[in-house]
Amino acid sequence: MTSQTKQQRLEAVNELIKVIASSGRCFFSENADKSNKVENPFISTMEIDERGKIWYIDHYTRKRIYTHNDHDWNYFTHGGTLKRLVAFFRNHISKGAQIRADYFDPNGSFWGEQHPWAYGDDILIVKEAALRLGIAK
């Protein structure tokens, strides 16, 4: 658990999302898996509403997605691995839960063989940011 406030954890998660969006395959970015890169791409973010509920803004649909529903996330444009990461971000923001640092290892014990994002060495940039921001331990 971190001693940061909910707002500080939200800001840290959004900073990590920017790192993920500007590294490797640019997940969470309008530039993800495209050959013609957009100069100022739209990047996904997380938000907290007035009731304290946490939302994800999808980079592709630009729709606000309610993250507290564990089943159907209409307009979410990624697969299960990134959906679980967004759910983890929700838990980090709301409760201060931290993810194991080896989640971001290219060939670490968390995944067994190879990291599923296919980020190459850029996954180490993401790992460093997650540690620096207090999201991973």
When the pLDDT of each residue in the chain is averaged and rounded to a whole number, the result is 90
Which residues, 6 or more positions from 82, have their beta carbon under 8 angstroms from its beta carbon? 27, 28
Q: Which of 5, 7, 13 is nearest to 133 (CA)?
A: 13
Asked if 59 contacts 33 with a C-beta cutoff of 8 angstroms, the reply is no
Looking at residue 108, what is its pLDDT? 65
> How large is the average pLDDT for residues 5-27?
96
The packing angle between helices 80-95 and 6-21, to 10°, is 150
Summarize pLDDT for 72-115 with one digit per residue, the tens.
888 988 888 899 999 999 999 999 999 999 889 887 666 667 77
> How large is the average pLDDT for residues 107-132?
85
pLDDT greater than 80 at residue 25: yes
Highest averaged pLDDT of the listed ranges 34-38, 75-79, 98-102, 130-134: 130-134
pTM: 0.91
pLDDT greater than 70 at residue 26: yes
